[in-house]
Amino acid sequence: MAAKPDFFERDVVSMRDFDRGQLELVFQQAATLERTPGRLDGALEGKLAVLLFFEPSTRTYSSFQVAAETLGLRVSGFSNPKGSSVSKGETLHDTIRMFEGYGADCFVIRHGMMGAARFAAEITDVPVINAGDGRREHPTQAMIDIYTIWKAFGKMDGLKVGIMGDLRYGRTPSSLSYGLSNYQVELCFIAPDALQIRPEVESFLNRRGVISSKETNLRSVAETLDVLYVTRIQKERIPDLTEYERVKKLYEVDLAALKDTKPSLKVLHPLPRMGELATEVDSAVFAQYFAQAAAGLPLRMALLNMILGGAE
Ligand code: NCD
């Protein structure tokens, strides 16, 4: 694939930075790769991807690692700061400078601090991909989420998407909402008041004219939804869980909760799941979350290849 001018050497920090045309370019490249696996194997031979994960991860780290290695990139960095000099107090700034000196061609960074990826992008000219910055954003997850919906429905416009769970401390609901604001979709945020979507996300959606509503109960909207995006409670970020513990039954999805939904409903979840999505849903037609996780590989391969300018 020739370098795509919209993507070549660009940072991926926020979903607010991507328009519909750019997202669809990534989706098309990912879909082409799914149709013809192997076509990009080794395309970025000799380059170096540096993965800096200051917070735990399973899917994101491993799918970036497998994506990068399949493209022929060498992979360095760490998946756990405990085993690195970060545990001695080394700063993000110095860590980046050091790997820059080793010839990094791109950084993939997950960090607990909001704005970490933007900060990183300001101190290095090497492209930076945000793999999660605190509760703020997780743009490549949102690309995977929208790609999964795009493939399942063959369209985006006209869909009603329910986003449920911890919308306040989670970073996937905000990135997903920003990405979906490029389409004529209706959003419904389903959460207890204490965990509702953050004001900055809401005001962004309002500025873009996105139709959205807030609900405290899945039951009242379930039958109107085309997509239900379930998220876990971010226990590691919530200061007080008492209120949530009291109402959590309302946000647990099992087959009974889905009984009056559209037969075409798709249930997504960025995973990991805790108790909010019952395993009995896995074998129902609604379940899309394992396909969603699997889509992470072609999508991240396509994205890395576009940013690093691999051959056609
Ligand atoms: C998400 C994350 O890290 O924000 N996980 C992921 O990347 N698939 C969701 C979560 O941890 O709840």
DSSP annotation string for 215-284: ES-GGGTGGG-SEEEE----TTT-S--HHHHHHGGGG-B-TGGGTTS-TT-EEE--S---SSB-GGGTTS
- Tell me how far the alpha carbon of residue 108 lies from the centroid of ligand 1, in angstroms: 15
What tokens does 29 get?
């490249």
Residues in CB range of 223: below 8 A, 6 or more apart: 260, 261, 262
For residue 154, the tally of other CB atoms under 10 A from its CB is 7
| pLDDT reported for residue 246 | 83
Q: Per residue in 97-117, pLDDT tens?
A: 999 999 999 999 999 999 999
Write the residue with the smallest CA distance to atom 6 of ligand 1: 270
Pick from 250, 192, 258, 196: nearest CA to 225:
258
Please give the single-letter amino acid code of residue 25.
L
pLDDT at 2 over 60: no
Structure token digits, residue 152: 């399942």
What pLDDT was estimated at residue 250?
Answer: 87
Query: What's the pLDDT tens digit per position in 135-147?
Result: 999 999 999 999 9
Residue to probe by mutation, ligand 1, list 111, 135, 141, most atoms within 8 Å of CB: 141
- Going by pLDDT thresholds of 50, 70 and 90, the confidence category of residue 312 is low
Mean pLDDT of 125-135: 97
Which residue out of 138, 177, 229, 237 has the highest number of ligand 1 atoms within 8 Å of its CB and is therefore the one to mutate?
Answer: 138
**Tokens for 271?**
């995973």
Task: Tell me: cis bond preceding 239? Omega within 30 of 0 counts.
Answer: no
Give me the numbers of helices (H) and strands (E) for the chain, helices first please.
9, 9
Q: Exposed/middle/buried for 288, CB within 10 Å: 0-12, 13-18, 19+? A: buried
CA–chain centroid gap for 240, Å, is 25
pLDDT band (50, 70, 90) for residue 149: very high
pLDDT-derived band at 181, boundaries 50, 70, 90:
very high
Instruction: Indicate the pLDDT class of residue 83, thresholds 50, 70 and 90.
Output: confident
Summarize the chain as % helix, strand, coil (round to 5).
Answer: 45, 15, 40
Inter-residue contact 135 to 237 (CB < 8 Å): yes
- Strand, coil or helix: what is 43? coil
The structure's pTM equals 0.96
The atom number, within ligand 1, closest to the CA of 171 reads 4
Distance CA 247, CA 270 (A): 22
C-alpha angle 247/249/254, rounded to 5°?
155
Measured in Å, residue 101 CA sits from the centre of ligand 1 at: 30
Q: Tell whether the model's pLDDT for residue 3 goes beyond 70.
A: no
Nearest CA to ligand 1 atom 8: 270
Could you tell me the distance, in angstroms and rounded to a whole number, from the CA of residue 241 to the centre of ligand 1? 19
Tell me what pLDDT residue 238 has.
Answer: 87
DSSP structure string for 122-147 = HH-SS-EEEEEETTTB-HHHHHHHHH
> Ligand 1: which atom is nearest the Cα of residue 293?
8
- Give every CB contact of residue 59 below 8 A, 6+ residues apart in sequence: 271, 293, 296
State pLDDT tens for residues 150-172.
999 999 999 999 999 999 999 99
Query: What's the pLDDT at 58?
Result: 86
The number of residues in the chain equals 312
Question: What was the pLDDT predicted at 114?
Answer: 96
Residues in contact with ligand 1 (CB, 6 Å cut-off): 59-60, 132, 138, 141, 170-172, 231-232, 270-271
Q: Is 80 exceeded by the pLDDT of residue 240? A: yes
Give the closest residue to 140 by CA, choosing from 276, 306, 277, 279. 306
pLDDT, tens only, 38-74: 999 999 999 999 999 999 888 899 999 999 999 999 9
